[in-house]
Amino acid sequence: MATYSRLPGSVALITLQNPPVNALSAAVRQGIVDTVQRALKDPKVTSVVICGQNGRFCGGADIREFAGPMLGPPLVPMIHAIEAVDKPVVAAIEGVALGGGLELALGCHYRIAHSKALLGLPEVTLGLLPAAGGTQRLPRLIGLTAALDLITTGRHISAAEALKLGILDQVTDSNAVDLAVDFVRSVAGQPLDSRRLSTLACPCPPDVDSLLDKVMAQVRQRSRGALAPVACVQALRAAATLPYTQGMEKERDLMATLFNSGQARALQYAFFSQRVVGKWSLPSGANWNNSTGRTISKAAVIGLGTMGRGIVVALALTGMSVVAVETQEKQLAEASQAVPAMLQREAGRRSLATPPGVITFSSNLQDVSEVELVIEAVFENMALKLQVFRHLASVCGPGTLLCSNTSGLDMDQLAAVTKSPALVVGMHFFAPAHVMKLLEVVCGPRSSPEAVATAMQLGKRMGKVSVAVGNCPGFVGNRMLKPYLEQANFLLEEGATPQQVDEALEEFGFPMGVFRMSDLSGLDVGWRIRKEAGLTGPGVEPSRTRQGRRYSPLPDQVCEAGRLGQKTGRGWYQYDGPGGRVARSDPWVHIFLEAYRAQHGLVARSIAPEEILERCLYALINEGFNILQEAMAAGPEHIDAIYVFGYGWPRHRGGPMFHAGQVGLGRVLERLEHHHHNHPDVPHLEPSTLLRRLVAGGSPPVQKWREFINKDRVHSQL
Ligand SMILES: CC/C=C/CC(=O)SCCNC(=O)CCNC(=O)[C@H](O)C(C)(C)COP(=O)(O)OP(=O)(O)OC[C@H]1O[C@@H](n2cnc3c(N)ncnc32)[C@H](O)[C@@H]1OP(=O)(O)O
């Protein structure tokens, strides 16, 4: 709703009220329409200020309402009516003015903001465009070039930047509403024509067409199949080339197409998934709301390889002091050069309010005795990690939280060698750890609510999307990746080339196909994990089966040929040299694949992109159903957030579990059955019991899956 009050000096104050972000729900829109009418009719009112309750102007349209029928007054005529009012209307912006919130402000005659306010038109991130006149008014106010940037990226900007761009008229460090009230009194009675943005011409550079073509090309390349950024450019072309009324018609038509697209639903689901995962819970009943984490001010990181360095930077960026330990002198010397430079770069990029914490480098594990939390980030080797944990247990006090940045090893085994297993949790970062948004917080069977809460809070402080997961091999992300990678290798055995597999996945929307990604991360990484699992290495027979299941030794053989990927200039592709970035097809790989197939009596066949996608993606999704069944993830949103934020799953496809729902669970089941029939020696293709149960239950939407997940799970940890 919106409240109305009359202040001394003939000012009407309209306050939007819909906590927590004063989203423009039907009730709020109705409230605005009614209160604006009241101000208009009241002869004692000469001017109007619109603000939001609790220091937040408006977070835009109420996204939750998008799923249902449109009720209440629509935004477009409401904003038109405000613009047409013949008494000055000022938007007093505190907190946020986003999406429809900023569009409402653009319909006002003046905009005044607090210096800490954030403004933006993030609709594109929800698969939409600013369709309450945003694509037509903003470019008329700040020019086409700046509007293209803001609307196609959806980025939030500071009040200072908004002032510079001309979106704001004034910025204040004190109360924005008070300033707006004073200001509006001072402009009462002045002409308003030039303040009505819809009546202005759109400032454009001389060569509008070439600018729009250039931006369209950039957007298409960046968006990897997403529709909304393209529609944003089309709407802005209309703003630059058509009168306002026709521009609005174009905006409306484009919005109608987007609004009903699967992509908008997927992106809105991704928005809420990101928030759902913050609300973790454990089977004990402990959850985000009833558990208190510790506030960490001093932490340590053990191991300063690529991951450890990134973690040190991520921690220091929160302002805490960090002890960075590396026992190998050469590695320590390199890290103590590299880490401060990384920190400086990242702090500059983020324009931080808090100065970064102090980092102390040491080769002595004893130096972590005073810290409150330790993150071990040594090599992915259980014996080594156990050794470090034993050492930590003797060096640190019994109240120190001990975390491991393992990507899939048993956290409970590590907890068992410590004095306080309840204070042990996994913190699985993704490379580069100071940049990547995802953090898997691995809850072992003995992890206490306090330990989980501390790790989740710390993740949030580092700006991560933290997802609590259960303790199983590979946790959630890497466990699902395994059948995906396995299928990619099988497809090579059967006749595909690395390029064909990568192209199908990139066309789907992944930034990189599996083989390009493997070259980037290094083929030795997976090889070492497989060696640790006894699947490869000296003494292991190079056959195509392991423990009665199909196995492809292809990646082992490529790695053992010294082709480690980009770092050696050769992997699944060839590069210009070690460290090269541009992948080119390598005749060596094709000859190698032919020889391999001949050696194993395999006859190459032509494989369609559809089969590549089905086999890779449905195998991954199937494992997601197993994970849900075993409660290693609390819900499909958790898996989807992990894949969107950590594994490059295209956001406009929501995540693997959401995608399964969009494809149709029945279809996914049928194709898995088909592929399992053709490959009975691949257990990962055998449809999950949960998937079968969901299909038998009428394929409910993803939000209802929890009702079908077996309550008497064997391994329940979440
Ligand atoms: C005709 C159609 C026109 C569409 C135009 C639009 O306006 S589309 C919407 C554009 N607006 C946005 O995209 C803003 C989305 N919100 C945010 O970016 C952030 O929530 C925030 C406003 C920057 C606040 O961030 P903060 O970290 O402080 O809080 P949360 O993100 O955790 O949000 C708190 C709760 O509020 C819910 N919520 C936020 N925005 C909206 C919204 N626009 N509609 C509905 N609900 C919203 C959010 O889901 C959180 O809810 P919980 O239940 O507490 O999880």
Cβ atoms 198, 136 nearer than 8 A? yes
58, 63, 102, best to mutate for ligand 1 pocket (most atoms within 8 Å of CB): 63
- What is the whole-number distance in angstroms between the Cα of residue 295 and the centre of ligand 1? 27
CB atoms within 10 A of CB 347: 16
The H-or-E segment that residue 349 falls in is helix 329-350
Cβ atoms 581, 566 nearer than 8 A? yes
Give the chain's end-to-end CA distance (angstroms, integer).
Answer: 38
Q: Is 74 in the pocket of ligand 1 (CB under 6 A)?
A: no
Pairing type for strands 47-52 and 2-7 reads: unpaired
- What is the whole-number distance in angstroms between the Cα of residue 91 and the centre of ligand 1? 19
Q: Is 593 in the pocket of ligand 1 (CB under 6 A)?
A: no
Q: Is residue 707 flagged as an active site residue?
A: no
Q: Which atom of ligand 1 is nearest to the CA of 100?
A: 7
CA distance 525 to 532: 11
350 pLDDT band, cuts 50/70/90, is: confident
Query: Helix count (H) and strand count (E) of the chain?
Result: 28, 19
Q: Is 122 in the pocket of ligand 1 (CB under 6 A)?
A: yes
Q: Which atom of ligand 1 is nearest to the CA of 101?
A: 7
3-state secondary structure of 226: coil
Cβ atoms 33, 76 nearer than 8 A? no
Which residues, in sequence order, are CB contacts of 209 under 8 Å at separation 6+? none
- What is the whole-number distance in angstroms between the Cα of residue 118 and the centre of ligand 1? 13
pLDDT, one tens digit per residue, over 654-699 is 999 999 999 999 999 999 999 999 999 999 999 999 999 999 999 9
- What is the whole-number distance in angstroms between the Cα of residue 121 and the centre of ligand 1? 12
CA distance 20 to 185: 30
Task: Tell me: cis bond preceding 20? Omega within 30 of 0 counts.
Answer: yes
Phi-psi region of 451 (alpha: psi -120 to 50; beta: other; left: phi over 0): alpha
532 pLDDT band, cuts 50/70/90, is: confident
Residue nearest to atom 31 of ligand 1 (CA): 275
Pairing type for strands 298-302 and 321-325 reads: parallel
Q: Is the pLDDT of residue 711 over 80?
A: no
713 pLDDT band, cuts 50/70/90, is: low
Cβ atoms 205, 490 nearer than 8 A? no
Q: Is the pLDDT of residue 317 over 60?
A: yes
- What is the whole-number distance in angstroms between the Cα of residue 475 and the centre of ligand 1? 30
Q: Is 127 in the pocket of ligand 1 (CB under 6 A)?
A: no
Q: Is 59 in the pocket of ligand 1 (CB under 6 A)?
A: yes
R_g of the chain computed on alpha carbons: 28
Q: Which atom of ligand 1 is nearest to the CA of 154?
A: 13
The two three-digit tokens of residue 151, written as one number:
């609307």
The closest of 281, 293, 347, 287 to 316, measured between CA atoms, is 347
Q: Which atom of ligand 1 is nearest to the CA of 118?
A: 23
- Alpha carbon of residue 298 to chain centroid: 28
Residue nearest to atom 15 of ligand 1 (CA): 59
Residue nearest to atom 13 of ligand 1 (CA): 122
> What is the predicted pLDDT for the residue at 492?
98
- What is the whole-number distance in angstroms between the Cα of residue 59 and the centre of ligand 1? 6
Residue nearest to atom 54 of ligand 1 (CA): 275
537 pLDDT band, cuts 50/70/90, is: confident
Q: Is 63 in the pocket of ligand 1 (CB under 6 A)?
A: yes
Q: Is 275 in the pocket of ligand 1 (CB under 6 A)?
A: yes
21, 258, 260, best to mutate for ligand 1 pocket (most atoms within 8 Å of CB): 21
Residue 687 DSSP code: P
Q: Is 96 in the pocket of ligand 1 (CB under 6 A)?
A: yes
For residues 129, 133, 134, 136, the Cα torsion angle rounded to the nearest 10 degrees is: 100
Q: Is the pLDDT of residue 644 over 60?
A: yes
Mean pLDDT (the chain, rounded) = 96
- What is the whole-number distance in angstroms between the Cα of residue 455 and the centre of ligand 1? 25
pLDDT, one tens digit per residue, over 488-529 is 999 999 999 999 999 999 999 999 999 999 999 999 989 988
CA distance 249 to 561: 61
Q: Which atom of ligand 1 is nearest to the CA of 276?
A: 55
714 pLDDT band, cuts 50/70/90, is: very low
Phi-psi region of 105 (alpha: psi -120 to 50; beta: other; left: phi over 0): alpha
pLDDT, one tens digit per residue, over 623-633 is 999 999 999 99
pLDDT, one tens digit per residue, over 95-126 is 999 999 999 999 999 999 999 999 999 999 99
Cβ atoms 578, 567 nearer than 8 A? yes
Q: Is 123 in the pocket of ligand 1 (CB under 6 A)?
A: yes
Q: Is 21 in the pocket of ligand 1 (CB under 6 A)?
A: yes
CA distance 406 to 408: 6
Q: Is the pLDDT of residue 236 over 50?
A: yes
> What is the predicted pLDDT for the residue at 79?
98
- What is the whole-number distance in angstroms between the Cα of residue 43 and the centre of ligand 1? 37
Which of these is catalytic: 83, 123, 376, 380? 123
Q: Is the pLDDT of residue 19 over 70?
A: yes
Q: Is 62 in the pocket of ligand 1 (CB under 6 A)?
A: yes
Average the pLDDT over each of 153-167, 348-362, 607-621 and give the range with the smallest value.
348-362
pLDDT, one tens digit per residue, over 273-285 is 999 999 999 878 8
Q: Which atom of ligand 1 is nearest to the CA of 271?
A: 49
3-state secondary structure 92-134: EECCEEECHHHHHHHHCCEEEEECCCEEECHHHHHCCCCCCCH
Average the pLDDT over each of 225-234, 532-541, 549-558 and give the range with the smallest value.
532-541
Q: Is residue 103 flagged as an active site residue?
A: yes
718 pLDDT band, cuts 50/70/90, is: low
Please report, rounded to a whole number, the percentage of residues in the chain having pLDDT higher than 70: 99
> Model ipTM?
0.99
- Residue whose pair of structure tokens reads 């099988």 in the numeric block: 490
Which of these is catalytic: 65, 83, 94, 103? 103
716 pLDDT band, cuts 50/70/90, is: low
Pairing type for strands 110-114 and 47-52 reads: unpaired
Q: Is 474 in the pocket of ligand 1 (CB under 6 A)?
A: no
Domains and CATH numbers, the chain: 2-259 (3.90.226.10), 288-470 (3.40.50.720), 496-599 (1.10.1040.10), 609-717 (1.10.1040.10)
Q: Is the pLDDT of residue 474 over 80?
A: yes
CA distance 585 to 270: 35
> What is the predicted pLDDT for the residue at 710?
61
- What is the whole-number distance in angstroms between the Cα of residue 624 and the centre of ligand 1? 28
